[in-house]
Amino acid sequence: MDFTFIFFIGVLIVLGIISLTTTILKNQKNSSIDPLRLDKFCSRVNSWWALFVFVAFAWYLSTGFVIFLFGAMSFWAMREFITLIPTRQADHRALFLLFFICVPLQYIFVWLEWYDVYSVAIPSFIFLLIPIIIAMFGDTKFFLTRITQISVSLLICVYSLSFAPALLTLKLPENSSSAKAGLLLFFLLMTQLSELFPFLTKAFFTNPHPIAPNVNTSKTWEGLCFGMFGTFFVGTLASPMTPFPAWADGLSAMLIALMASGGSLTLSAIKRDRGVRDYGTLVVGHGGILDRIDSICFAAPVFFQTSRILLNFHDQLGGTGFNAWF
Amino acid sequence: MPEAVPESEQTQNPKPEKEAPSPIPPHRCFAIDAVVGRAIFSGLSRFLSGATSSWYSQPDTCQRVYFANHTSHLDMLVIWSAMPDYVRKVVRPVAAKDYWGSGFFRPYIAKRLFNCILLERQNVKVHNNPVDEMLRQMGSQYSIIIFPEGGRQSSGEMAEFKSGLYYMCKKRPELELIPIYIDNMNRILPRGTYLPVPLLSHVTFGNPLWLEKNEKKQDFLDRARQAILDLKKKSK
């Protein structure tokens, strides 16, 4: 039996238990749990299911389909982000290009595995093209603010997120769909655990120290430390899912945790600035996808690049495998 | 509106149609092209506007006048897609005859797909004044969607209402007026552009209001306008 498969089944069972528990709690009358918090937790559990299904697709269906799903998420996250920021009519054409040309092309390049294109096209070309197009319309009011906001939204929602499905295009030593799905599962699991572990610290610390009290009081130094050590531990244990040695997996898991917590903190700051609580409450009736994927967006590029560097080392060592490093 | 091309032949020889609309309009015959066409248009508008909606009043098939703020070409479609199917069957959007009545494709969309009421905008005389025409085509069955500002606004602000709404209610005071606030559409497809940017919008249907007895024209129009502004405040 493949380790990744066993782990996958394990995650399935855990998710099933969590879903069952929340369903029972929801149907319980006169329960002492705050229903609002329960709802919030349920939406989180649902997003875990969605991510889990992504991994299953990567395994049994095609890589292309997973890339398409991430592309759709990117598109939706981007529209939430742009709805939030104030744009002017002169930005209209630039925004059209971003939504209907830039987003699809980025994911098509990922699908074609053109690393040289998708890793540089946005920073070296689109970031410069946006100000040009906007300047052409001659509206200079808040010009610098507008181009910065649009560029940042593109960076977070499209460029960074596209590295998550790009994990499936890496050339692994054992080139099977199970190995690829394992790498994606490892990454998604670590990002979600880095949110779950700080949540558990609330039980141990009565008076935690928030990192930035006026941004988000639930992001604490204790939570960050606990999250990083927790993901280091789980990352080392889950190492057989990836082709890398255990120490490397532990360290990259820690890096993922750091970036993921930083990502949710950053998006909280953006929300505070614009005066909304959730991207979901931005327009009535929309579930905020950006609330769910903020950690994935920030952690994806760094995990992709570390994996790529490790794989290059592996190739330079003559394909003897990472076992030689012990 | 910039797209309004006056058709001189049509406007010089208006032919008022005297017969009342048939109880089952042609587009309700569930011809495959009409069903598919409507599905395509409502799907497209939902995709482009991420349209969600909320009702303060209940959706109903009684005779109503839906009035909304107007900033975009997609407004009518977005309202139409936000309605449940049984309400759509009795709703007729109001459109300009000079634009939607000319060519081949536009009358097809306006009449067959959406069962629009087409109104003259030029050469309005006593015998074809828009209010009477609207009321005649509404009969005793249909509701209508109108934009009382008279045109799309390029800024996000609402203009003063035209007086047609008042004269209509004066003739039919029992009509329910439902205010509708459409949020963010001026960023999705603003006036003067034809490329949509798919941001998120929201349609809010308010509580009904009626013309009070002895209410002055300006008071009534201000009250109706205020109803939409209140919805705007609530949706923020």
Q: What is the pLDDT of residues B159-205, one digit of tens each?
A: 888 888 899 998 898 899 999 999 888 889 888 888 899 998 888 99
pLDDT by residue (tens digit) across A13-65? Answer: 988 998 888 888 877 776 666 777 777 777 778 888 888 888 888 777 788 88
- Domain extent at residue A294: 3-317
> Does A209 reach chain B within 8 Å, measured CB to CB?
no
User: Please, where are the H alpha helices in chain A?
Assistant: 3-27, 35-60, 63-84, 92-97, 103-112, 115-118, 121, 127-136, 143-154, 163-166, 177-201, 221-237, 246-274, 289-316
Residue A91 inside a domain? The answer is yes
pLDDT over 60 (residue B13): no
pLDDT over 80 (residue A321): no
pLDDT of residue B6: 44
- Annotate A209-265 with DSSP letters as a single string: -EEETTTEEEEEHHHHHHHHHHHHHHHHHTGGGSSS-HHHHHHHHHHHHHHHHHHHH
How many structural domains does chain A have?
1
Residue A322 inside a domain? The answer is no
Measure A284 CA to nearest chain B CA, in Å.
7
Average pLDDT, chain B: 81
Residue A324 inside a domain? The answer is no
**Span A227-244, average pLDDT:** 90
Residue A119 inside a domain? The answer is yes
| Contact: B200, A95; criterion CB under 8 Å | no
Residue A326 inside a domain? The answer is no
> Does A274 reach chain B within 8 Å, measured CB to CB?
no
pLDDT over 70 (residue B9): no
Q: Chain B interface, mutation test: which of A283, A290, A291, most B Cβ atoms within 10 Å?
A: A283
| Contact: A83, B190; criterion CB under 8 Å | no
pLDDT over 70 (residue A244): yes
| Contact: A283, B198; criterion CB under 8 Å | no
Residue A239 inside a domain? The answer is yes
pLDDT of residue A320: 61
Among A3-12, A19-28, B62-71, top mean pLDDT goes to: B62-71
| Contact: B202, A80; criterion CB under 8 Å | no
ipTM of the complex, rounded to two decimals: 0.78
Q: What percentage of chain A carries pLDDT values higher than 90?
A: 41
pLDDT of residue A166: 94
Q: How many CB atoms lie within 10 A of CB A230?
A: 21
Phi, psi torsion values for B61, nearest 5 degrees: -95, 5
Residue A188 inside a domain? The answer is yes
Q: Which residue has better confidence, A253 or B35?
A: A253
Q: Is the dihedral of CA A189, A192, A195, A197 positive or negative?
A: negative
pLDDT of residue A31: 65
**Span A250-274, average pLDDT:** 91
Which residues on chain B are in Cβ contact (under 8 Å) with A83? 184, 187, 199-200
The C-alpha atoms of residue A67 and residue A110 are separated, in whole angstroms, by 8
**Dihedral, A185, A188, A189, A191 alpha carbons, nearest 10:** 160
Of A178, A238, A247, which Cα lies nearest the Cα of A7?
A: A238
Q: What percentage of chain B carries pLDDT values higher than 90?
A: 18
> Does B92 reach chain A within 8 Å, measured CB to CB?
no
> Does B193 reach chain A within 8 Å, measured CB to CB?
yes
